[in-house]
Structure 1
Amino acid sequence: MTASAVRFARFAADTAHRGLGREERTRAATWMLDTVGVMLAGRTCPTGRQVAEVVAGRAGKGAATAIGVAEPLPAADAALVNGTLAHSLDFDDTHLPSVLHPSASVVPAALAVAQETAASPARLLDALTLGNELNVRLGMAGYDTVLGNSQYFERGQHATAICGALGAALAAGVLYGLDADGLAHAVGIAASMGSGLLEANRTGGTVKRVHCGWAAHSGITAAQFALGGLTAPPTVLDGRFGFLRAWLDEPADPEAVTRDLGDHWESARIQIKPYPCNHFLHAAVDAALQLRRRGLRVDDIEAVEAAFPTAVLRTVAEPAEVKKAPADGYAAKFSAPYVIATALLGGAGLGVGLADFTDEAVTDPARLALAARVRCAADPVCDTLFPRSLPAGLLVRIRGGQEGMLAHVPVSRGGEGNELGPDDLLAKFHDNAALVMPEERGRELGALLAALPEVTGEGERETARLAALLTV
């Protein structure tokens, strides 16, 4: 039986040679539009600036654009900065049920190498699609149907970064023109580079924001190593000491990497976030908005009982004392009490927005007082839906013994069957871009990204124009 890495590499090489159809390229352009917008907004976060300062000494020595760095950088360094920006605000897209954020690693890697190689938009979108496909399939190899959750997640492993390094390597390898053997080596080399722990979601620290940047950086480096002749074992994914056994042990599903390959696009399940917080909390925001529309008055709230899938409580509700009073704006993105209180009070935008997750906002006495009255618990109905969807429910108890108000959301806004429309996607992009660039320039960039699937021929001009518009 042909090893999974070799099979996928052959598929990728053949697909890259033939080119993808409009549907796949349009989907990839959506990921690109969303991720670039989040990268731009991420420039407002200190972590991205800190990473940019680390690599600034190498500016002027490459061909790739890093947002916030005036001079071009080597591709791997540009991807390190942009990948950090893409994940810094927890506003990046999500694949279910692997619960993995794919584009934040693969888009920065593909974009940097596309600039370096003067690739056409079509080739960029094809490389991005193939990289994200491998990324989420590796995530699905860790999805345990009995447990109803990702084994990566259960073990505290950040699959987004671990699998993202391999997805980024494949995308970069396609753009470098590696053949099937070379792509297999690039993926195999990256398998020794991906890493990431999830503890920061629970108790803080800024290192998690760099995970996707490091995955993108590692993926490009792995592809460059393969280009230079470095090799990897053909059984790197499914061998006795391979990637899946090392990370997941017996629960791994190696067949998920290549099952129905070419007939089924697992990456079609990628969902775009409408709110800049942990995706587990989106349904709770939707539920809070439902209650507000039904006339709930915040002054009447005595207590709030929030229902979630059991598996997510460790991320959004524990330790309880930490979650009720998050230390800073980033920690607040992973706090169910804070996010629910903010949505009930009427946060920014259409629910909660970036302005709700500043270090100043989390000291607001009204939010903290209401957050202190939020209790989170596991719910068996939510357990049956997770992680095919990310459900939540709210029961609000009213002062004076009046009857409470209940809202249950089985599929959050942006989820399967409840997807964001083109206007919603552009609105999110423009809101993000407006934080760091003039409105007219942001609209030009958004229009260019949305039109990438329509570009015919070589199209290097559009790639160069994209790079120029990203220089902020």
Structure 2
Amino acid sequence: METIIEQLAGFSAGTRFEELPAPVVHEVKRLVLDSIGCAFAAVEHPKGRIGIEYGRMVAGQGNAAIIGTPHRASVLGAAIANGELINALDMDAVVPPGHVTPYVLPGALAIGETSDASGRDLIRAVAVAHEMSWRFGKAMDYLRDMKDGQLDTPKVFGFSSTIFGATAAIGMLQRQSAETLADSLSIAGYISPVQSMMAFFHHAPSTTIKYTMAAALVQAAMMAAHMGLLRHRGDVQLLDDAEHGYARFIGTRRWEPARITDDLGKRWGFIDEQIYKLYPHCRILHGPLDCLIGIVEQHDIRPEEIDGIDLLVEGFVEKPTWLTQDIQHVHDGQFSIAHGMAMGAHRLKPGRDWQDPRHVFSPSVLALMKKVRHRAHPDYVKELSSHASARPSRVEVKARGQTFAAETLYPKGSPSPDPDNLISTTELIAKFHHNAEGVVPRRTADAIVNAVMDLDRECDVSMLMTLTTHTSA
């Protein structure tokens, strides 16, 4: 009987583009476009600049593109830089277990670009990487796990399991056999980064690497794939041994491996839970931001007119990184509830402006932070128990001697019973164009959109990545 790793390796090596359902192909294109746009928006962000500088330092020169720059680096250096760029603003897509694309896409882009991979090759690899990551996310602890009708947040959590999908994508583009991929995947498990996210949540000011550093995981995945290719032997029993294997040493309390393997290759689940972010802020605040921005735009309320902002938000937020009022670094604004709401009230178009020091440290924004109050929504647990995407939110804005209120159950971008809640491809393209402004000319941005949407026909990975390195806007 095949082990779990052998099944994952067979799934990766055996998946043919022609077998991918059309919705999977379409979703991968959306993910690639959104991620390139997020990287464009981050080229001047501190986290993005650090990623670029470090990526250029490691492993010597090469021919792989660093998105939004004129620089080319080794496949490892480019993958590291692009992972940091995609995640820098926290505006990239999420799917269980959380942020996935900044970990699984960069290695695939770098290897695909330098190995004459077709667009279909890239789509196939990225689809497998997301499906695999989603399946691990469903098999392990989740941030919003429930027990006896109450939120049961794990003590140890992170996105380290995305290393399996990241390694699979690289191995597929290297054309590894199923046998070699099994070695690569098991090596990935052995060198998986630690799950450090809870330290990030509970400390303020928190580390600017955030929950799991993309650079570290991308580097580990690249190493795992190459070590398998060079014929290091892996341990294919790693996922089957609950007592001594990956589930034990990565710290998950829950381990349901059937969620990884059931209907593998027959049912694609990640597309049903894929979420896109409109704001460069932790997803926790997106429901309240939808409400607040709707209020201030509908009633044309200026920040100086606001006497108070009261919000009901999900009960998970009572952790220092969200409660901080001490904004020392632009990164702190990505998670602070008070700062995020103050920024939203200023009606800046979501994108790099939300991370521009001129706005992050604006006296008007910092003053409005003091007028923001929040508490847990009383229906949060009940609604979450009914639907995994539910984030009940209510906002009241006191201004002009009146109280303006709005509420929502599902933040824009989340799968929900209301299909209009999803972000359309037209909306994603608009987000991309805004993120690309000032980094590439509009004609180049248009060409990138066309290239991504044509990945399954004429465009190859090298053609796409060449477009992303133009920098004169």
TM bin (shorter chain): 0.7 to 0.9
Q: CA deviation at 1:411?
A: 0.8
**Matching residue's letter, 1:332:** G
Greater Cα offset, 373-382 or 54-63: 54-63
Paired residues of 1:325 and 1:368 also in contact (CA < 8 A): no
Q: CA deviation at 1:58?
A: 5.5
Paired residues of 1:304 and 1:394 also in contact (CA < 8 A): no
Show the counterpart of 2:290. Answer: 286
Distance 2:399 2:109 in 1: 54
Per-residue Cα deviation, 1:157-192 (whole angstroms, up to 9, x for no partner) = 321xx1222211010011111122222221211112
- Is the partner of 1:303 in helix, strand or coil? strand
Distance 1:132 1:362 in 2: 33
2:221 matches 1:223: no
Distance 1:102 1:150 in 2: 23
Show the counterpart of 1:236. Answer: 238
Per-residue Cα deviation, 1:87-136 (whole angstroms, up to 9, x for no partner) = 111111011xx351111111111111111221111011000100111112
Show the counterpart of 2:445. Answer: 442
Runs of 4+ in 1 over 6 A off after TM superposition: 148-151
The partner residue of 2:139 within 135, 141, 144 is 141
The partner residue of 1:451 within 450, 454, 468 is 454
- Is the partner of 2:190 in helix, strand or coil? coil
The within-5 A match list for 1:187-202 is: 187-195=185-193, 196-198=195-197, 199-200=199-200, 202=204
Identity %: 23
Greater Cα offset, 217-226 or 192-201: 192-201
- Is the partner of 2:161 in helix, strand or coil? helix
The within-5 A match list for 1:402-417 is: 404-416=403-415, 417=419
**Matching residue's letter, 1:414:** G
Q: CA deviation at 1:68?
A: 5.7
Distance 1:249 1:71 in 2: 39
Per-residue Cα deviation, 1:133-170 (whole angstroms, up to 9, x for no partner) = 1112112222455348998x7335321xx122221101
- Is the partner of 2:226 in helix, strand or coil? helix
Per-residue Cα deviation, 1:65-101 (whole angstroms, up to 9, x for no partner) = 2236645322222111110111111111011xx3511
Q: CA deviation at 1:34?
A: 0.6
Paired residues of 1:445 and 1:469 also in contact (CA < 8 A): yes
Unaligned runs of 5+ in 2: none
Distance 2:208 2:359 in 1: 18
**Matching residue's letter, 2:103:** S
Distance 1:61 1:342 in 2: 40
Show the counterpart of 2:278. Answer: 274
Using structure 2 for the length normalisation, give the TM-score. 0.88
- Is the partner of 2:431 in helix, strand or coil? helix
Paired residues of 1:184 and 1:234 also in contact (CA < 8 A): yes
Paired residues of 2:41 and 2:351 also in contact (CA < 8 A): no
The within-5 A match list for 1:302-313 is: 302-313=307-318
Unaligned runs of 5+ in 1: none
- Is the partner of 1:380 in helix, strand or coil? coil
- Is the partner of 1:398 in helix, strand or coil? strand
Per-residue Cα deviation, 1:315-371 (whole angstroms, up to 9, x for no partner) = 6633xxxx234222211010111111222232x12xx43212222212222222221
**Matching residue's letter, 2:37:** G
Show the counterpart of 2:110. Answer: 112
Paired residues of 2:140 and 2:253 also in contact (CA < 8 A): no
**Matching residue's letter, 2:327:** P
The change in CA–CA distance for 1:16 and 1:293 in structure 2 (over 3 A counts) is same
Paired residues of 1:245 and 1:252 also in contact (CA < 8 A): no
Distance 1:27 1:17 in 2: 14
The change in CA–CA distance for 1:304 and 1:47 in structure 2 (over 3 A counts) is closer
The partner residue of 1:261 within 259, 264, 269 is 264
The change in CA–CA distance for 1:230 and 1:359 in structure 2 (over 3 A counts) is same
The change in CA–CA distance for 1:292 and 1:249 in structure 2 (over 3 A counts) is closer
Show the counterpart of 1:380. Answer: 378
Show the counterpart of 1:30. Answer: 30
The change in CA–CA distance for 1:137 and 1:65 in structure 2 (over 3 A counts) is same
Say what the alpha-carbon RMSD is for the aligned residues. 2.7
Distance 1:150 1:126 in 2: 36
Paired residues of 1:5 and 1:236 also in contact (CA < 8 A): yes
Paired residues of 1:282 and 1:412 also in contact (CA < 8 A): yes
The change in CA–CA distance for 1:399 and 1:293 in structure 2 (over 3 A counts) is closer
The change in CA–CA distance for 1:412 and 1:62 in structure 2 (over 3 A counts) is same
Using structure 1 for the length normalisation, give the TM-score. 0.88
- Is the partner of 2:280 in helix, strand or coil? coil
Show the counterpart of 2:84. Answer: 84
The within-5 A match list for 1:420-439 is: 420-439=423-442
The change in CA–CA distance for 1:203 and 1:264 in structure 2 (over 3 A counts) is farther
- Is the partner of 2:432 in helix, strand or coil? helix
Paired residues of 2:292 and 2:395 also in contact (CA < 8 A): no
Paired residues of 1:76 and 1:109 also in contact (CA < 8 A): yes
**Matching residue's letter, 1:471:** T
Show the counterpart of 1:169. Answer: 167
The change in CA–CA distance for 1:380 and 1:182 in structure 2 (over 3 A counts) is farther
Show the counterpart of 2:125. Answer: 127
The change in CA–CA distance for 1:260 and 1:380 in structure 2 (over 3 A counts) is farther
- Is the partner of 1:203 in helix, strand or coil? coil
Alignment length, in residue pairs? 454
Write 1 or 2 for the structure with the bigger share of helix.
1
Paired residues of 1:60 and 1:71 also in contact (CA < 8 A): no
Greater Cα offset, 65-74 or 166-175: 65-74
